């Protein structure tokens, strides 16, 4: 089971604490469902976002999600709203929320391929796939991009191209600079049109 593997390979203090406590996956998910009540106002109860600039979280790679919450809590990733919210959660709360969202089925509303999808697919394969995978499913280190909100993807690629306090990560900035602003829309067209395998 995906969660068992995640719990056996801690990536943060929260992960380690849960592993040491031999947390039961179903109990962890149930706790996360309760804690995620406020998150659902934006990310959706089913993990499908209610807003175009807010990411879908359903089925997202759990180790990646946990690192992002830990980064918000520590101020390494900046967003006034998210930082304030995440800082109210304990490390165990954050891990439970991650387990809940990662356990949800991925049922994105797959977009019809946009005009740049074909060119975007070529650019993705050359520049993005080495980290995010040929099918854009990511892994522990990197998020799944397939089927993600197109506006969210576009906004964040632009933030990496022109680094801001919200997103700053050298390897991503270097990759997006190779991509170039003129290809961002094409890559977004491609990613938004991808199917996501069901477990």
Same domain, 135 and 177: yes
Same domain, 24 and 54: yes
Same domain, 125 and 67: no
Tell me the CATH number at 185.
1.10.760.10
Question: CA 54: distance to chain centroid?
Answer: 10
Same domain, 89 and 25: yes
Q: Which residue has the tokens 């165990």?
A: 92
**Tokens matching residue 124:** 């993705």
Question: Which of 173-176's residues contact partners 24+ apart within 8 Å by CB, and which partners?
Answer: 175/127, 175/128, 175/131
Q: Which of 76, 103, 130 is the last residue of a domain?
A: 103
Same domain, 141 and 178: yes
Same domain, 99 and 145: no
| Structure confidence at residue 20 as a pLDDT band (50, 70, 90) | very low
Q: Summarize pLDDT for 127-178 with one digit per residue, the tens.
A: 999 999 999 999 888 999 998 999 999 999 999 999 877 777 889 999 999 9
In DSSP notation, the chain reads -HHHHHHHS--SHHHHHHHHTT--HHHHHHHHHHHTTTTHHHH-TTS--SSTTS---TT--HHHHHHHHHHHHHTSS--HHHHHHHTTS-HHHHHHHHHHHHHS-----PPPP-TTHHHHHHHIIIIIHHHH-TTS---SSS---TT--HHHHHHHHHHHHS--SS---HHHHHHHHHH-HHHHHHHHHHHHT------
Question: CA 126: distance to chain centroid?
Answer: 21
* Residue 199: predicted pLDDT: 58
Q: Spell 37-70 as b/e; 16+ CB within 10 A means b.
A: eebbebbbeebbbeeeeebbbbbbbbbbbbbbbb
- Residue 60 falls within a domain, yes or no? yes
| Domain count of the fold of the chain | 2
- Residue 158 falls within a domain, yes or no? yes
Q: What is the mean pLDDT of residues 86-90?
A: 95
Q: Is the pLDDT of residue 110 over 70?
A: no
- Residue 198 falls within a domain, yes or no? no
Same domain, 125 and 51: no
- Residue 30 falls within a domain, yes or no? yes
Same domain, 60 and 20: yes
**Tokens matching residue 127:** 């520049």
Q: Is the pLDDT of residue 4 over 70?
A: no
Contact 10, 98 (CB under 8 A): no
Mean pLDDT of the chain: 87
Same domain, 67 and 147: no
Q: What is the mean pLDDT of residues 20-42?
A: 85
Same domain, 99 and 122: no
- Residue 41 falls within a domain, yes or no? yes
Question: CA 127: distance to chain centroid?
Answer: 19
Same domain, 22 and 71: yes
Same domain, 129 and 171: yes
Q: Which of 68, 103, 138 is the last residue of a domain?
A: 103
Q: Domain range holding 31?
A: 2-103
- Residue 62 falls within a domain, yes or no? yes
């Amino acid at each position: 089971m995906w969660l068992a593997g995640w719990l056996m390979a801690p990536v943060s203090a929260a992960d380690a604490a849960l592993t040491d406590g031999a947390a039961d996956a179903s109990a962890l998910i149930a706790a996360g469902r309760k804690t995620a009540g406020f998150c659902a106002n934006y990310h959706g109860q089913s993990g499908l976002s209610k807003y175009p600039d807010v990411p879908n979280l359903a089925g997202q790679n759990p180790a990646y999600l946990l690192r992002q919450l830990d980064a918000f809590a520590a101020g390494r990733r900046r967003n006034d709203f998210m930082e304030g919210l995440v800082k109210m959660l304990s490390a165990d709360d954050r891990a439970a929320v991650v387990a809940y969202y990662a356990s949800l089925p991925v049922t994105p509303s797959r977009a019809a391929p946009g005009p740049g999808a074909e060119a975007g697919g070529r650019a993705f394969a050359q520049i993005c796939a080495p980290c995010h995978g040929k099918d854009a499913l990511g892994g522990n280190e990197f998020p799944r991009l397939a089927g993600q909100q197109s506006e969210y993807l576009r906004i964040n690629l632009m933030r990496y191209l022109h680094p801001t306090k919200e997103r700053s990560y050298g390897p991503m900035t270097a990759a997006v600079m190779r991509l170039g602003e003129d290809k961002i829309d094409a890559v977004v067209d491609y990613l938004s049109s991808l199917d996501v395998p069901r477990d």
